[in-house]
Structure 1
Amino acid sequence: MTDTNTENQNISTTPESEEDVVNKKRKKSSRLLVIIALIFIIILLCIIGYGFYFYKNNVVNNTAYQQKIETLANKLESQVAQQNNQFQQSKSLNDNFKTQIEQLNIQLLDAQNKSKLHSSDMQALQRSVAETNIRHPSDWILSEVEYLINLSGRKLWLEHDLKSTIALLSTADKRIVEIGDPSLNPLRRALLEDINMLEALPQRDVDGVILALSSLERRIDKLTVAGLEVPEIKQAKDKEVSGDVADWETNVDKSWNSFIESFIVISHRDKPVEALLSPEQSWYLKENLRNALSKAEFAVYREQQDIYDLALQNALKLVALYYDMEDKSTQQFYTSVKRLSKQNVSIDYPDQFKSAPLLSSILKQRISKSFTIENAE
């Protein structure tokens, strides 16, 4: 009985021990899993906490960095603004310096010019003083001669007054004679040559030509316009038949011609028949003639020989073509215009007097001599 019980006990204990082993293993594995899960949860919590801590620190750092960046940006903007202001101020100062330098240069140039003018004025003053101290009394007469020659040149080239020019040059010659200096004979010779040259120029009677043209203009309305002129018909030949039998051929011709002329009449004229001018055409004719004479008057004042000749030639053509040349008033008008067309209204004046450069050289020589004498003293 005892053996059986022990065997049963052994049999019963053996399977329980395997289950226990399995259970133990399961418990161990479950514990291990729980431990691993706890470790994983702890690690996860640590990671989450570290991440939260890191995120919080990053946010704080980012805000701090942003604030620093903003402050740096504000500083940079203020510095840039200050630099811009300084640049503008330096630019304005530079511009002001440039304008001041330009003004100083202008003032310097003005001062240099004024100094040059002052120096030239001083030289002129010294020259005039030297001239007043050393000049011979005859030099003042030479200055008067120079003035007369210059005035005569203005009269000739500006006013075309030939008579006044000759009178002024003659007065200058008389003043040279009053000096009685033989060294001035070349000057007097040149002056007399100028006078002779001017006297040889053709004389212009401007007033006479203008008055003659004006009187012709007033006579235009009194001229007779050419009317209808019918030339004489040629007289017919002898048409009578002769009684001589030997002239039978001529008699037949005469009879035939007289027979034909009874149907057709042919008149032969030596000149063409001129048509009559209407009153309007006659008025235009007079105005054209008056306009031609007016052009001639303007050409006289301006000394335009070509225009003067062309205007009078047109006037002669109008008179010859459209006016009655058998009328005495027309003939006189035509003759007057033709006489005026031969007038010279322009004169070729000399470009310079021979005495002017010679006188200027004489004056320069005398002034240089006076300076040498003053320096020697």
Structure 2
Amino acid sequence: MNDVTHTPLPPAASEPVVPAAAPRRSRWVLALVALLALVVAVSLGLAWSAQQRVRKLEQELVRRQQDSQTQSAEARLLAKRADETARESAAKVTLLEARLAEVSIQRTQLEDLIQSLSRSRDENVLVDIDSGLRVAQQQATITGSAEPLVAALKQADDRLARYAQPRLEGVRRAIARDIDRVKAVGVPDIAALSIKLDEAIRLVDELPLLSQAEPRKETRPAASAPKASAKSASAPASAPAGWTTAVSDRWHGLMQTLWGETRTLVRVTRIDHPEAMLVAPEQAFFLRENLKLRLLNARLAVLSRQFDTVQTDVQSAQQALERYFDRSSRRTGVAGDLLKQVAAGSRQVGLPRPDDTLAALAAATAGR
């Protein structure tokens, strides 16, 4: 058996060849087109929906903005009204407070009036004496004089004496003790101290300085003149015998005259501070003016009752007197005595308080 190889023949060219996948491709294309159309439609729908939503949001924003503007205008109007109301309320409160203060003052005055009317005669007397003593004590403290306090105590004693109440005898005894205690205190006499300082200031221009020596008075023996006249009268009788005695007497008188003139040229003085002799006339003027200013300052301190300042200025003035002025002069001594009196009299003295009288008044008022 022969092996024969059969080769497949190619298909004829005239027969149409229809691929099997063509229908499938067309279906896929149609599906893709439909899908794209659906996607486009959905996209258009979403875009339209989004556009509608944006429009609604814009409208809502515009509406809310208009509402917020309206509300802000209303809020500003309400705030303005509230501010005006607050101002009116503050003015009313201020007016009410002023009226309340006036009512309080009137109430206090009415209470004081009722209380004063309800007091008895004894209480009025005791209260008046107590207030008068306290006012007098303040005046004595301000003026530095015990006269207001003594006058108030005496007036109170006279008033109680006219009132003649046995239960107020303790108050009168306390007043007597306080009067004795106040009078026992040595209070500086401001008027006398001021007068002494004025006198010292007046003497400053008349005080001699150590650098300005005063001329001494010429002292001649008074007995020499009668003797000379007697000898001149007896000279003609005994001229031949006593001419030598006459010449001797004349020579002796001439020598005494020369010696007296020489003594006036030389002056021996003990000076503890040599710089006092070196004060020029121009410096002497300023020295006197400085001393006056010290004394004027002391006078002002006396009037203002600053006795520490008075002591300091008076001590400075005394040192200036001892250093630069002639202590042997009577005027310098007078000025020094005045300054010593001022220094001794300007001492700070504490005025006593009328505690016994005030305590007796309080006890009498409490024991009514």
Name the TM-score class by shorter chain. 0.5 to 0.7
**Match for residue 227 of structure 1?**
211
**Match for residue 47 of structure 1?**
35
**Cα distance change, pair 216–270 in 1 and its aligned pair in 2 (3 A):** closer
**Match for residue 346 of structure 2?**
344
Match of 1:311 among 287, 310, 313: 313
- Stretches of structure 1 lacking an aligned partner (at least 5 in a row): 1-14, 230-268, 367-377
Q: Which runs of structure 2 are paired with 1:206-285 in the superposition (5 Å)?
A: 206-227=190-211, 274=275, 275-285=277-287
Amino acid at match of 1:46: A
Match of 1:130 among 114, 118, 136: 118
Amino acid at match of 1:208: A
Please give the alpha-carbon distance, in whole angstroms, between the structure 2 residues aligned to 1:61 and 1:157: 101
Match of 1:167 among 129, 151, 154: 151
Please give the alpha-carbon distance, in whole angstroms, between the structure 1 residues aligned to 2:69 and 2:302: 81
Where does structure 1 differ by over 6 angstroms across 4 or more consecutive aligned residues? 82-119, 269-272
Size of the aligned set, in residue pairs, is 304
Amino acid at match of 1:226: L
Amino acid at match of 2:341: R
Amino acid at match of 2:286: Y
**Match for residue 235 of structure 2?**
none
Do structure 1's residue 28 and structure 2's residue 18 form an aligned pair?
A: yes
Deviations 1:3-47 (A, max 9, x none): xxxxxxxxxxxx9x9643x653x5212xx5664554454334323
Amino acid at match of 2:17: K
Amino acid at match of 1:222: E
Give the Å deviation of 1:298: 1.9
Amino acid at match of 2:297: K
Deviations 1:127-178 (A, max 9, x none): 33433xxx35x65554554454344324322333423432332122122112
Give the Å deviation of 1:346: 3.0
**Cα distance change, pair 118–322 in 1 and its aligned pair in 2 (3 A):** closer
* Greater alpha carbon shift after TM alignment, 184-193 vs 282-291: 282-291
Give the Å deviation of 1:112: 8.2
Please give the alpha-carbon distance, in whole angstroms, between the structure 2 residues aligned to 1:200 and 1:310: 27
Do structure 1's residue 176 and structure 2's residue 178 form an aligned pair?
A: no
Please give the alpha-carbon distance, in whole angstroms, between the structure 1 residues aligned to 2:306 and 2:124: 41
Q: TM-score, normalised by structure 2?
A: 0.66
Q: TM-score, normalised by structure 1?
A: 0.65
Match of 1:303, SS? coil
CA RMSD of aligned residues (A): 4.1
- Stretches of structure 2 lacking an aligned partner (at least 5 in a row): 1-6, 214-268
Deviations 1:197-233 (A, max 9, x none): 111111432112112212211221222222289xxxx
Amino acid at match of 1:149: L
Do structure 1's residue 65 and structure 2's residue 53 form an aligned pair?
A: yes
Amino acid at match of 2:296: S
Structure with max Cα Rg = 1
**Match for residue 356 of structure 2?**
354
Q: Which runs of structure 2 are paired with 1:61-210 in the superposition (5 Å)?
A: 61-77=49-65, 123-131=111-119, 135-136=120-121, 141-142=125-126, 144-146=128-130, 148-210=132-194
Amino acid at match of 1:194: D
* Greater alpha carbon shift after TM alignment, 167-176 vs 315-324: 167-176
* Greater alpha carbon shift after TM alignment, 183-192 vs 157-166: 157-166
Please give the alpha-carbon distance, in whole angstroms, between the structure 2 residues aligned to 1:140 and 1:65: 96
Match of 1:300 among 291, 299, 302: 302
Query: Is the contact between residue 193 and residue 342 of structure 2 (CA under 8 Å) also seen in structure 1?
Result: yes
Give the Å deviation of 1:125: 4.3
